[in-house]
Amino acid sequence: MQINDVLRKDLMIMDLEATSKEAVIDEMIQRLAEKNVISDVETFKTGIMNRESQTSTGLGNGIAMPHAKNKAVKEPAVLFAKSSKGVEYEALDNQPVELFFMIAAPEGGNDLHLQVLASLSRKLVDESVVSNLKQVRTPEEVQNIFKEDEEEQVVREKTAKNAGSDQKFVVAVTACPTGIAHTYMAEDALKRKAAEMGVEIRVETNGTDGAKNKLTAEEIKRADGVIVAADKKVDMARFNGKPVLQRPVSEGINKPEELITRAVAGNAPIFQAEGSSASSDADDTERGSGWQSIYKDLMNGVSHMLPFVVGGGILLALSFLFEAQLGDDSILFTSLNSIGGSAFTFLIPILAGYIAYSIADRPGLLPGMAGGLLAVESDAGFLGGLVAGFVAGYVMNLIKKSLKNVPKTFEGLKSILLYPVLGLLAVGLLMFFLIGPFFAVINNAMIGFLENLGTGNAVILGAVLGGMMAVDMGGPVNKAAYAFSIGIFGDTGDGSLMAAVMVGGMIPPLAIAISTLLFKSKFTDIERQSGLSNFVLGASFITEGAIPFAAADPMRVIGSSILGAAIGGGLTQLWNVTVPAPHGGLFVIGIGENPLFFVAALLIGSIISAVVLGLWKKDVSQSSANIEADELV
């Protein structure tokens, strides 16, 4: 499909008047309505804004591609618009947007909007195309740029087909976990660079619309090397015995020459598929830098855990609201509390299981989840679960490596017998005798510290208890502080220390929610969307809402949370706040003493923690580890 087939000159806006994101969208939609492309402005805008609520369509580099496919569209069209001043559009690189492509696709069976997105993404990876578009003054110039680029692409493809048989040949796969644009940007960057280098290349894309241009067995066999520029799992078994470079999709866009050079030279580990007896001159497929690999494994666990946190947490919060209004014998309280609580029992096992899955593939899932469950049962908390996930993954890889030379007779027993039994046994013993006891020692030490501290200095004790609630967010340190306060409350009926731990436990999720609003450039779109749910979780005294953020960035999130929680906990004691209830958050403060001071301590601690976190974190665009932020749905 040619871009100019749908990129209509009569729709183009060469100098936008609007200066804000929604105003720009409104101005473009109004042009579509004036030209009879859409029949209902509100319906089409709803589709556009729903898409924007998922992830910003601001790709970066001054480009945005808002799009919608719904019944309001009468005929397919692409509207080009240009802003001379630039518009703050919440783009993925947090820079103003100058070039807009609004895609309107009619409701129906075809995927025109995906085809246009893919085609535009391929073109806009070329810096010369983008630079020229920023200089255009007339609609004719816009269409000429795309016409000339398409003609050059035809020449490049003919040159590649006519190359001699001695030309080097590389195959590649590009993929993003949730999107489409960067999948095709990586594809086009690799193709362009290969043409410049005189290298023949075939690229398979795994985007929203599935795998396209699938590599054949003959092509893989003929290839000098394989590039997998992907941030999600792709079919790897077919590359058994080939030199394979595994890299984030962003490197396919930004470092195509480096990847092609290494692939052509065969300068990559030989991939060995599970169950294969192929020789390997490396332990495993190269997984990128150490920290990048760890981050990717960690985020795999966090992303799978997040729905349990949000779904279970919000139902728990609702249950506390009904408890405060109807009592703890209300069917609404007991049912919602049970349902929400059941989701929370999976948090740590899911986190650990999918970390291990990312490291060791399917064989890592069982020992990872079992290790996570053992972490919960031994009071190792989410920190213990993190350790369990990584331990399970690496232990499982060692087991796989040790069994690679078993007789072929037993090959079929590996996945159904040897891997699960040996993996579960090894990880279980490590958790039972090493990791669990280690965190138990920490737990007992913390309890002893609190008991020895006593109540002589209430402000210091409140600060210590509040800070401890933020250390591991539901783990042994958190539970030690909570258990100590419950013990005091049970023995004396004094709810002052309950106020300290409740404020301390509420601050981490609330601070994260505030920080995602105040420092948008420091968080990815997914983090900002997830952060909003922490307002509800924090208000309900559900500290676990902060766990996904703490798991992804433990030093900054936990460090800032401890500071704010300690200040909040100390202030509750300074102002003689009491809460005669073990849970409930804001829903129960009315039954205590000095509730306004409770709110003041909570706000002060949350704001301090939020500001410290926001200032401490790096911009998403400056962190190469934030792979998810580069994706576009």
How big is the CA angle at 228 (ends 222 and 234), to the nearest 5 degrees?
A: 100
| 139 and 224, same domain (yes or no) | no
Domain boundary among 427, 449, 471: 449
Task: Note whether 113 and 102 are within 8 A (CB).
Answer: no
Catalytic residue, from 113, 176, 182, 583: name it: 176
- The rounded distance, in Å, linking the Cα atoms of 155 and 147 is 13
Task: Identify which of 196, 246, 244 has the alpha carbon closest to the alpha carbon of residue 223.
Answer: 244
| 433 and 491, same domain (yes or no) | no
Per-residue confidence band for 454, with pLDDT thresholds at 50, 70 and 90: low
| 397 and 302, same domain (yes or no) | yes
At 480, is the secondary structure helix, strand, or coil? helix
Domain count, the chain: 4
| 303 and 414, same domain (yes or no) | yes
586 assigned to some structural domain: yes
Catalytic residue, from 67, 113, 182, 583: name it: 67
Residue 97 sits in a domain whose CATH number is: 3.40.930.10
| 233 and 130, same domain (yes or no) | no
| 266 and 302, same domain (yes or no) | no
626 assigned to some structural domain: no
Domain boundary among 157, 188, 221: 157
Both structure tokens of 532:
């909003």
**Confidence at residue 392, expressed as pLDDT on a 0 to 100 scale:** 95
Task: Identify which of 41, 6, 1 has the alpha carbon closest to the alpha carbon of residue 25.
Answer: 41
Residue 246 bridge partners (DSSP): 228
The pLDDT tens digits of the residues spanning 403-446 come to 888 776 676 688 788 999 999 999 999 999 998 888 767 656 66
243 assigned to some structural domain: yes
- The rounded distance, in Å, linking the Cα atoms of 252 and 172 is 10
Task: Identify which of 81, 65, 77 has the alpha carbon closest to the alpha carbon of residue 112.
Answer: 77
Query: What is the DSSP annotation of 157-220?
Result: HHHHHTS-TTS-EEEEEEE-SS-SHHHHHHHHHHHHHHHHHT-EEEEEEEETTEEESPPPHHHH
- The rounded distance, in Å, linking the Cα atoms of 630 and 93 is 8
Backbone dihedral angles phi then psi of residue 379, each to the nearest 5 degrees: 60, 30
Looking at per-residue confidence, does 275 or 34 come out higher? 34
432 assigned to some structural domain: yes
- The rounded distance, in Å, linking the Cα atoms of 349 and 359 is 15
623 assigned to some structural domain: no
| 70 and 110, same domain (yes or no) | yes
Residue 183 sits in a domain whose CATH number is: 3.40.50.2300
Task: Note whether 358 and 329 are within 8 A (CB).
Answer: no
- The rounded distance, in Å, linking the Cα atoms of 166 and 595 is 79
In the predicted model, what is the mean pLDDT of the chain?
Answer: 81
| 251 and 137, same domain (yes or no) | no
Task: Note whether 29 and 11 are within 8 A (CB).
Answer: no
Burial of 551-577, coded b for 16+ CB within 10 Å and e otherwise, reads: bbbeebbbbbbbbbbbbbbbbbbebeb
Q: Is the pLDDT of residue 176 over 80?
A: no
Domain of residue 541: give its range.
Answer: 455-616
Domain boundary among 107, 124, 157: 157
Both structure tokens of 232:
């999600």
| 471 and 582, same domain (yes or no) | yes
287 assigned to some structural domain: no
309 assigned to some structural domain: yes
Identity of the highest mean pLDDT range in 32-46, 210-224, 319-333, 581-595: 32-46
The pLDDT tens digits of the residues spanning 41-72 come to 999 998 888 777 766 788 778 889 898 888 89
Is 113 a known active-site residue? no
DSSP summary character for residue 526: H
Summarize the confidence of residues 476-482 as an average pLDDT.
72
Q: Is the pLDDT of residue 274 over 70?
A: no
| 441 and 371, same domain (yes or no) | yes
Provide the phi-psi class of 82: left if phi over 0, else alpha when psi is between -120 and 50, else beta: beta
| 504 and 610, same domain (yes or no) | yes
Distances (CA, A) of 429 to 373, 390, 536, 538: 13, 15, 38, 36
Report the chain's terminal Cα–Cα distance, integer Å: 21
**Confidence at residue 160, expressed as pLDDT on a 0 to 100 scale:** 53
**Confidence at residue 477, expressed as pLDDT on a 0 to 100 scale:** 74
52 assigned to some structural domain: yes
DSSP summary character for residue 63: E
Provide the phi-psi class of 35: left if phi over 0, else alpha when psi is between -120 and 50, else beta: alpha
**Confidence at residue 283, expressed as pLDDT on a 0 to 100 scale:** 41
| 338 and 310, same domain (yes or no) | yes
The pLDDT tens digits of the residues spanning 345-395 come to 888 899 899 999 888 888 999 999 999 999 888 877 667 888 999 999 999
Is 176 a known active-site residue? yes
Looking at per-residue confidence, does 75 or 150 come out higher? 75
